[in-house]
Amino acid sequence: MTENAHVSGSYWLDTAPGEPRPALDEDLTVDVAVIGAGIAGLSTARELARAGKGVAVLEAGRVAAGVTGHTTAKLTALHTLVYDKLRRTRGPDGAQLYARSQSEAVEHAAALVDELGIDCEWERRSAYTYVCDAGRVAEIKAEADAARAAGLPASFTTDTGLPFPVAGAVRVTGQAQFHPRKYLLALTDDLVAHGGRVYEHTTVHGLDESKPCRLSTGTGATVTARDVVVATHYPIFDRALLFTRLSPRRELVVAGPLDAARDPDGMYITPDEGTRSVRTAPYGKDGEGGEAGGQRLLIVTGEHFTPGTGDTRARFDHLSAWAGEHFPGVDLTHAWATQDNDPTDTVPLVGPLHAGARHVFVATGFGGWGLSGGIMAGRLLTALITGGTCAWSELYDPRRLRTAVREAPSFLKNQAEVALHFVGDRLRPAPPVDALPPGEGAVVRVDGHRLAVYRDDDGALHAVSPRCTHLGCLVAFNSAERAWECPCHGSRFDTDGKVVQGPATRPLERRDI
């Protein structure tokens, strides 16, 4: 990266640390157990508690500190170029249901902000999907037409607030952006006020789908519940084989203060250049010299890649350079990364975990749009669990089979890439341990055995098994974030093998070296 940008952690976490919650230390019986305290899990839990259910949320890390704590926090129903594809694959009715469900999620969040008086820097903004390549203008016009036909206030335009010309853009008015962690911390407080329980540092290892369901945890406690919601972003249970329908994608984020007069006044994304997303946020309300100094926080996202592949440092450099080129003079103060899961047929998977499931539900596959998707999932799952109805439950049902033929090309491509990593990564030559500089890691051979070895800044070696504890792919080292990553399904581990991100739930085994 440039000298001004460094992996300093998420701005959202820095500015809203939150109060710690206890780990679960005794057996517990509730109506509903929700696994995962991101926006999907907390939205579901809060809706259920308001409906009178006894709810417990089990989070392996901290509340809203995972994927939701590293988002770019755009709350919109415009999801890059989804509507033209949906009207071709799901028909006009499917596209309309998708638009309605996502738009209602935006407005549901707005109502909660007002109802609970949440100070989360809520702002209304127009959302844009743009291209600079004139050869893609027809694609943008088709998307604008499809989004408008689906019911969104969408139009085609060449006029944006970006500091460079665009060939064309879809604009959807009346969307929103906010501070996701401040919003979710307030939601958590409301959940607890209505009898809900929230436990941090409580990893779930096992699920028994008997009546009632039983969850085993890393703390040794057992949770008994009539219903279970798996909202861990990437499902931690493989019995539904959903990992075959999801492709993990990691993206980088850089941010820094920008003069308010240069605010592009909108939320922007382009599918070009490995994706570029631009927005600003209120800056300096807590004494950092922001609003009074006429500044906002510029947030630029892009460089998407499969976890465990390529040079992340070079990608940060590239993204920082792009931000500096288009917003010259911005001092990048924050840099972090986020991770999403793309479903093979575009539409998230929200509903029963598998064909035989009666009391276990899942929310996953939001494809980079987890804020509106997570809020939508909370409303949909609450309806299913409480016996209500939801107009779009069939659209998002994970058991859907009618789209299998349409999924086939993406499904086969995804599985081919997984197979390539599973076999090919084992055939690559391993560097010698002595070649590792401080701060770097690699999968090496020692006495005929493969080890994942990291050399810390003091020169000490840390060795773990290179086999991901999810399904056995070999991990690779991300030097920019100092983490081991699985390129097959996106599990991430720290340098001592502790799980940072699932679907893996068990650490990499320590090894002697």
- CA atoms of 297 and 330, how far apart (whole Å): 10
Stretch 243-248: mean pLDDT: 85
Q: Would you mind telling me the total number of residues written for the chain in this entry?
A: 513
What are 113-149's pLDDT values in tens digits? 999 999 999 999 999 999 999 999 999 999 999 999 9
3-state secondary structure of 331: coil
CATH superfamily of 16-70+181-244+346-408: FAD/NAD(P)-binding domain (3.50.50.60)
What are 341-391's pLDDT values in tens digits? 999 889 999 999 999 999 999 999 999 999 999 999 999 999 999 999 999
- CA atoms of 415 and 420, how far apart (whole Å): 8
Stretch 33-56: mean pLDDT: 97
Contact assessment for residue 503 and residue 491, using Cβ atoms and an 8 Å cutoff:
yes
Question: Is the per-residue pLDDT at 439 higher than 70?
Answer: yes
Q: Is 68 left (phi over 0), alpha (psi -120 to 50) or beta?
A: alpha
Q: Which residues 6+ apart lie within 8 Å of 170 measured at CB?
A: 78, 128, 129, 130, 140, 143, 144, 147, 154, 155, 156, 157
Sign of CA dihedral 197, 208, 229, 249: positive
Task: Quickly state the pLDDT bin for 200 (edges 50, 70, 90).
Answer: very high
Considering the chain, what is the average pLDDT of its residues?
90
User: How many other CB atoms are there within 10 angstroms of residue 460's CB atom?
Assistant: 9
Among 95-99, 168-172, 400-404, 410-414, the least confident range = 410-414
Architecture, CATH, for domain 428-511: 3-layer Sandwich (2.102)
Contact assessment for residue 81 and residue 139, using Cβ atoms and an 8 Å cutoff:
yes
Contact assessment for residue 121 and residue 290, using Cβ atoms and an 8 Å cutoff:
no
Name residue, tokens 């890691």.
441
- CA atoms of 148 and 154, how far apart (whole Å): 5
Domain assignments of the chain as residue spans, ordered by start: 16-70+181-244+346-408, 428-511
pLDDT of residue 60: 94
